[in-house]
Amino acid sequence: MCVRRCVITVGDLGEFGVVTRITGRLPQGAAVMLGPGDDAAMISAPDGRVVVSTDLLLEGRHFRRDWSGGYDVGRKAAAQNLADIAAMGAVPTSIVVGLGIPADLSLEWLDALTDGFGDECAVVGASVAGGDITRCDRVVIGVTALGDLGGRAPVTRSGARAGQVVAVAGRLGYSAAGWALLEADAPADSPALLEAVAGHRRPCPPYAMGPQAAELGASAMLDVSDGLLQDLGHVARASGVRVELDPQAFTIGEPVALAAKELGADPLEWVLTGGEDHALAAVFPPEVRLPASWQVVGRVVEGEGVAVFGREIRRRGWDHFR
């Protein structure tokens, strides 16, 4: 087998010894042919193509240190990028990390952060290949994830066609429920409510379902990062179709239902508009027999936009500039 290579520039891997501390203490996966210690890393790309995604997390906007420890932030930062790779139908192979940190950030918090990066990558067999660091007034985390398609075509947002079905895999509404509990300073005094809070601090993307969906013939797919309605709107626009969802088709998890009862909220609104669960939403031809991990929740028709039968949802999801 011919193993192709790509070289990723990842800044000064040894600056202040901190990035070496991050990458040097983590196991390196088979995809990393040359890891920390040079000006760039070298990653194997057997498919000849590399799927790449990048995201920023800003303290005070995407996480709060009084709500989440370093370990949870590391898991979350890695997860949201690895989920993007899976949503293209690819298998994540590695990440590189850029950090801006205050001078007084404790080494304990930083160690926990790096443990979070490594443990989340380990879930999918990926590794941390390198990174860079600078001083900043608050914690800023930039993660770039890479993945391999294994010979498959990428699953984009523009392939949905009228007559197909919409399905989701993974949890919806957990992060929104957990955020609402934290924001209200509501006591999480039961296992279910604790699970909701944990869902905000650390998402659980269904990574394996991305390549599975590609193998099953998904025509469009994305991860739910900004809310299902908002994100399916991207599919509708890119594909030139209308997505119609059946509110009765959604399963509302017990933690979401109990949090809604505690706060007097509508759990379905969290399911439809809550972000950061990083579930997967995909569109399939109607003849595809979907495994139990996928739940059909709607259909694709002629038209435009996203609608929910019998419900008026005013909030559509997260908008970074609204």
My answer on whether 143 and 205 are in the same domain is: no
- Assess if residue 94 is contained within a domain: yes
The answer to whether the annotation marks 67 as part of a ligand binding site is no
Is residue 193 in some structural domain? yes
Percent of the chain with pLDDT over 90: 77
Q: What is the DSSP string of 167-193?
A: EEES--SHHHHHHHHHHTT----SHHH
Q: How confident is the model at residue 34 (pLDDT cuts 50, 70, 90)?
A: confident
Does the annotation list 115 as a binding residue?
no
Q: What percent of the chain has pLDDT over 70?
A: 87
User: Do 11 and 138 lie in a common domain?
Assistant: yes
**What is the per-residue pLDDT for 7?**
52
pLDDT reported for residue 41: 83
Radius of gyration of the chain (CA): 20
Say if residue 38 carries a ligand binding annotation. Answer: no
Q: Region 21-41: what's the mean pLDDT? A: 65
Per-residue model confidence as pLDDT tens digits over 132-152:
899 999 999 999 999 999 999
**Residue 31 falls inside a structural domain:** yes
Distance from C-alpha of 33 to C-alpha of 123, rounded to nearest angstrom: 20
What is the pTM for the complete model shown? 0.88
**157 assigned binding-site residue:** yes
Determine whether the annotation assigns residue 25 to a binding site: no
- Residue 226 assigned to a binding site: yes
Number of domains making up the chain: 2
Are 12 and 143 part of one and the same domain? yes
pLDDT band of residue 314 (cuts 50, 70, 90) is low
In a domain, 204, yes or no: yes
The whole-angstrom separation of Cα 113 and Cα 140 is 12
User: Which of 148, 173, 204 is at the close of a domain?
Assistant: 148
Among residues 148, 177, 210, the one where a domain terminates is 148
User: The domain containing residue 97 runs over which residues?
Assistant: 5-148
Residue 171: pLDDT over 50: yes
Is the same domain home to 143 and 169? no
Q: How far is CA 2 from the centre of its chain?
A: 31
Same domain, 27 and 138: yes
Is 185 known to sit in a ligand binding site?
no
Please report whether residue 115 resides in a domain.
yes
Beta strands 305-308 and 242-245: pairing type? parallel
294 alpha carbon, distance to own chain's centre: 17
CATH number at residue 204: 3.90.650.10
132 annotated as belonging to a binding site for a ligand: yes
Same domain for 141 and 175, yes or no, is: no
318 is in an annotated binding site: yes
d(C-alpha 311, C-alpha 315), whole Å: 12
| Rounded-to-integer distance, Cα 131 and Cα 40, Å | 9
Residue 48 has a pLDDT of: 86
62 annotated ligand-binding residue: yes
Q: At 53, is the pLDDT very low, low, confident or very high (cuts 50, 70, 90)? A: very high
Q: Please indicate, yes or no, if residue 230 is contained in any of the structural domains.
A: yes
One domain for residues 29 and 82: yes
Query: Does residue 54 share a domain with residue 24?
Result: yes
Q: Looking at the predicted structure, is the pLDDT value of residue 319 above 90? A: no
Judge contact between 279 and 205, C-beta under 8 A: yes
Same domain? 190 vs 304:
yes
SS3 41: strand
Among the ranges given (28-42, 216-230, 257-271), the one the predictor scored with the smallest mean pLDDT: 28-42
**Averaged pLDDT, 201-230:** 97
How confident is residue 13, by pLDDT bands cut at 50, 70 and 90?
very low
